[in-house]
Amino acid sequence: MLALNNVEVIYNDVILVLKGMSLEVPQGKIVALLGSNGAGKSTTLKAVSGLLKPEDGEVTDGEILFEGEKIHEQDASHIVRRGIFQVMEGRRVFEHLDVEQNLIAGSYTRTDRQNVRGDIEGVFEYFPRLKERRRQTAGYLSGGEQQMLAIGRALMAKPKLMMLDEPSLGLAPLLVQEIFNIIKRINEEEGTTILLVEQNARLALDVADYAYIMENGRIVLDGEPETLKSNADVREFYLGLNEVGARKSYRDVKHYKRRKRWLS
Residues lying near another protein in the complex (CB under 8 A): 49-51, 54-55, 76-77, 79-81, 85-86, 88, 92-97, 101-102, 104-109, 113, 137, 139-140, 153, 157
Residue 147 touching ligand ATP (CB under 6 A):
no
Residue 50 touching ligand ATP (CB under 6 A):
no
Residue 15 touching ligand ATP (CB under 6 A):
yes
Q: How far is the CB of 142 from ligand ATP (least distance, A)?
A: 21
* Cβ neighbours for 151, distance < 8 A, ≥ 6 positions apart: 87, 126, 127, 164, 167, 179, 182, 183, 186
Q: How far is the CB of 45 from ligand ATP (least distance, A)?
A: 8
Q: Tell me which stretch binds ligand ATP (CB under 6 A): 12-20, 203-211, 229-237, 246-254.
A: 12-20
Measured from the CB atom, is 57 or 167 closer to ligand ATP? Answer: 57
Residue 16 touching ligand ATP (CB under 6 A):
no
Within 79-98, the residues that bind Mg ion by CB under 5 A are 89
Q: How far is the CB of 92 from another protein (least distance, A)?
A: 4
Per partner kind, with CB cut-offs from 5 to 8 A, the member of another protein, ligand ATP, Mg ion, none near residue 254 is none
Q: How far is the CB of 235 from another protein (least distance, A)?
A: 33
Residue 170 touching ligand ATP (CB under 6 A):
no
Asked if residues 4 and 62 have their Cβ atoms less than 8 Å apart, the reply is yes
Asked if residues 98 and 90 have their Cβ atoms less than 8 Å apart, the reply is no
Q: How far is the CB of 94 from another protein (least distance, A)?
A: 4
